[in-house]
Amino acid sequence: MKKYAINHLSVTILSVTTAILSSISAASAFNLHRITNLSATGAFQGFKINNSGQVAGISNGRAALWSDGRPTDLGTLGGHNILISDLNEFGQVVGQSDTADGYSRAFRSLNGKLTDLGTLGGKDSFARKINGNGQVAGTSNTVDGSYRAFLWSEKGMRDLGHLGGNDSLASDLNETGQVVGTSYTSEGYSRAFLSSEKGMRDLGHLGGNDSFARKINGNGQVAGTSYTPEGYARAFLWSEEGMRDLGHLGGNYSYASDMNETGQIIGQSYTTDGFYHSFLWSEEGMRDLGDLGGNYTYASDINEDGQIIGQSQTADGSEYAFLWEEDSMISLERLLPINSGWSGLEVLQINDDGKILGNGYFEGEFHTFLMTPTDQPIEPIPEPSSIIGSLFGLGSLVATARYRRLRSQKKTTENHSIN
């Protein structure tokens, strides 16, 4: 019995040691972040950030650009509803705004005000993405009520066509003006498309007829989701060599959500246990990003350094925003100073400098924040000797308690035998 107790204690100490050292190792890879309240001087709510740290958002029902410590009013197109879709490196904002007539129109900001980009003959249009050249990809309805993907430039709005089924929707745009999205075929299937000066191209599928393009990078690689002959949804990477099934985390299904210029793709997949986890795919394969102790993780954005942000469930079922880098995941709230006043963080984007845009509660009120990394580690790293000493101290307490319990049990047994 005594030998078993000692062995059991050794395993316990080893497990605790491993857990603590792993936790310290993971934490040491991250630095404290400075958090800025972008809503401190008004009702500004941010949605998109560029690499200059500018943030596109809405303030008092009007488009606004936060820059140099304050938001600048960009106005509306005459109506009361407005949505922000994208922001380029020159501070140009795109989205959609209601007009005075009650229609929704795609807009681009220029010289501090919004410009109506028009339509393809119908009443409504929606801007989705803008590149560094000021080109805008989006969707508009036509005279006959169909919806068409468009590419807007200074020459006007160009109808990108369809794959036989009248409708097409744009989802992304790269710096060379290539647009990806989804269009119906004449048979009624949904197909991922790539549009360029040569026209609209059907990117095919993984055997199950339907596919949906989500992202395109500067190399012309396309990330999206397609169905297999068995009916499983799978994340894919398309290049001139064809469409590639990226696999899954054990549960058959996977979905792509973002991609950077190096071709790294993030998305979601079911695990063998049926949990919903996020993945990072590269040429080395698909990697499970893990979680914060619970069963659910959703990665929403990746930058050019491979840093990933999203939301994850903890062991008690709560949901926290996370930052993942260098094989480690950490809750964003651990990156903030103690008693920062912030809670309930939800992340939106991370730029290439590691600045994180999101929303949360500051002293109980909903605000937009911008987190900027510093050079200060999030916590002092304890000396290994102090860790081991603490663990052996814990081991001594556990061993003493176990010895007393066994001794008490022995006395009880002897008393029963005498009686």
HEC readout, the chain:
CHHHHHHHHHHHHHHHHHHHHHHHHHHCCCEEEEEEECCCCCCEEEEEECCCCCEEEEECCEEEEEECCEEEEEECEEEEEEEEEEECCCCCEEEEEEECCCCEEEEEEECCEEEECCCEEEEEEEEEEECCCCCEEEEEEECCCCEEEEEEECCEEEECCCEEEEEEEEEEECCCCCEEEEEEECCCCEEEEEEECCEEEECCCCCCCCEEEEEECCCCCEEEEEECCCCCEEEEEEECCEEEECCCEEEEEEEEEEECCCCCEEEEEEECCCCEEEEEEECCEEEECCCEEEEEEEEEEECCCCCEEEEEEECCCCEEEEEEECCEEEEHHHHCCCCCCEEEEEEEEECCCCCEEEEEEECCEEEEEEEEEEEEECCCCCCHHHHHHHHHHHHHHHHHHHHHHHHHHHHHHHHHHHC
Average of per-residue pLDDT across 265-276: 97
Give tens-digit pLDDT for 274-331.
Answer: 999 999 999 999 999 999 999 999 999 999 999 999 999 999 999 999 999 989 999 9
- pLDDT above 70 for 23: no
* Share of residues in the chain with pLDDT > 70 (%): 84
| pLDDT at site 28 | 55
| pLDDT at site 29 | 76
| Contact (CB, 8 A) for 38 and 369 | yes
Instruction: State pTM to two decimals.
Output: 0.85
pLDDT band at 379 (very low <50, low <70, confident <90, very high): low
| Contact (CB, 8 A) for 307 and 354 | yes
| pLDDT at site 41 | 72
**Strand pairing category for 55-59 and 31-37:** unpaired
Domains of the chain: 2-408 (2.130.10.150)
Task: Find the range with the poorest average confidence among 26-40, 91-105, 205-219, 334-348.
Answer: 26-40
- pLDDT above 60 for 400: no
- pLDDT above 90 for 411: no
Average of per-residue pLDDT across 344-364: 97
Average of per-residue pLDDT across 24-44: 81
Q: Quick one: which of 299, 256, 292, 250 has its CA closest to 275? A: 250
| Contact (CB, 8 A) for 141 and 147 | yes
